[in-house]
Chains A and B, each alone.
Chain A
Amino acid sequence: MPGLMNRASTVVKARISKLLDRAEDPSITLDYSYEKQRELLQNVKRGVADVVTAKKRLELQSQKLEQEIEKLETQARQALSAGREDLARSALERKALVQQQLQSLDQQGTALEAQQEKLIEAEKRLSAKVEAFRTQKETIKATYSAAEAQVKIGEEMADTGLAIERARDKTEQMQARAAAVDELTAAGTLEDFTEQGTSLDRELAQISAGSQVDEELARMKGELGSGDTKKEIEQ
């Protein structure tokens, strides 16, 4: 069984010829190769932009979940002070579920961050190589066979290809996760309690509305009671 280094090397060489296999004539091969390098460089840049977009979406979702957690906590308190421990428990159970989702999003975010850094590094390396290749292209054409010349940049291209592929995988995983969270939200599992909510949602809403009514009643009573109280409340 050959070693991993050996196999990796074979894999990379095979990819190089697949990436750049074109012609026996070094001048045609190298011009073609240069085109491909620039194409790949554009792809890395786009890959970085995609990761950034994915990260933004993730951040927005995290914010939404954090607000949801806060809201459920408030609802649990209100339910408890209204003597409805059962409702408070349900709200806290839901809060725990949302927290799990949030944690999973955070992990995805960390993974994306790592991919972004790798892509940026890959872009930097490939840029430097493409530039060196451009300036040395004519010398390389004159000095090396097409096959030898291909290797000079093909390796970096194969490696960059891997970085792009992996970043894309992670971005797709993240998008799948984000879509799952969106679905949960849409299904009402994490949703606001108002319109098409479950009976639990409605009960929590009633408690919430109830305590708001209590507060307003107290305020109005205060206003009726004395002008001084009114001032205090308004401050």
Chain B
Amino acid sequence: MIARLMGDGQYEIDEALCTRLNELDDKAVAALEANDEEQLDGYLDQMAELVRSEGTRLADDDLSASEIVIPPSDLTLEETRQLFSDHGLIPDLPAPQQ
């Protein structure tokens, strides 16, 4: 299946890797809920590292959709929450600047 590391493109990963990512994901959720930014960043880094080292990078011009999306580790807790909120961290198409 295909995983996207937000801010870092897409990778092809296998089922076994996906299972390991899910385990880390559970821990990341717990860290987010405990307001533990350091732990959260640590788990997200581990997830990204696993994908980078064991996955196969997709070509930039590949138009496949991702089944898994992994948030970046360099967000603050606040930004991470905002990312998942209704309002969202991902903007609508940015308006052209004046």
Cα separation A8 to B66 with both chains bound (whole Å): 11
The answer to whether A230 has its CB under 8 Å from any CB of chain B is no
Query: Are B88 and A136 in contact (CB-based, < 8 A)?
Result: no
A3-29 at interface with B (beta carbon < 8 Å) = 3-9, 11-12, 14-15, 18-19
Residues of chain B whose beta carbon lies under 8 Å from any beta carbon of chain A: 4, 6-9, 21-22, 25-26, 28-29, 32-33, 44, 47, 59-71, 74, 83-84, 88-94, 96-97
Query: Are A4 and B90 in contact (CB-based, < 8 A)?
Result: no
12 A–B contact pairs at CB < 8 A? A2-B29, A4-B28, A5-B47, A8-B71, A8-B84, A39-B96, A43-B93, A121-B7, A125-B60, A129-B63, A131-B61, A155-B65
The answer to whether A162 has its CB under 8 Å from any CB of chain B is yes
Residue on B nearest A126 in the bound complex, by CB: B60
* Inter-chain contacts of A168 with B (CB < 8 A): 94
Q: Which 3 A-B pairs have the closest CB atoms?
A: A128-B60, A132-B61, A3-B25
Cα separation A128 to B94 with both chains bound (whole Å): 20
Query: Are A15 and B88 in contact (CB-based, < 8 A)?
Result: yes
Query: Are A4 and B94 in contact (CB-based, < 8 A)?
Result: no
* CB within 8 Å for A153 and B63 given contacts A46-B97, A161-B91, A165-B89: yes
Contact residues of B: prevailing secondary structure: loop
Cα separation A131 to B28 with both chains bound (whole Å): 36
The answer to whether A122 has its CB under 8 Å from any CB of chain B is yes
Indicate with 1 or 0, residue by residue over A161-184, a CB within 8 angstroms of chain B CB atoms: 111110010000000000000000
Residue on A nearest B68 in the bound complex, by CB: A5
Query: Are B89 and A162 in contact (CB-based, < 8 A)?
Result: yes
Query: Are A136 and B91 in contact (CB-based, < 8 A)?
Result: no
Cα separation A15 to B84 with both chains bound (whole Å): 11
* Inter-chain contacts of B33 with A (CB < 8 A): 1
Query: Are B7 and A122 in contact (CB-based, < 8 A)?
Result: yes
Query: Are A133 and B7 in contact (CB-based, < 8 A)?
Result: no
Query: Are A164 and B71 in contact (CB-based, < 8 A)?
Result: no
Q: Which of A4, A9, A11 contacts B88 (CB 8 A)?
A: A11
Residue on B nearest A158 in the bound complex, by CB: B90
Query: Are A129 and B66 in contact (CB-based, < 8 A)?
Result: no
* Inter-chain contacts of B91 with A (CB < 8 A): 161-162, 164-165
The answer to whether A124 has its CB under 8 Å from any CB of chain B is yes
Query: Are B94 and A5 in contact (CB-based, < 8 A)?
Result: no
* Inter-chain contacts of B7 with A (CB < 8 A): 118, 121-122, 159, 162-163
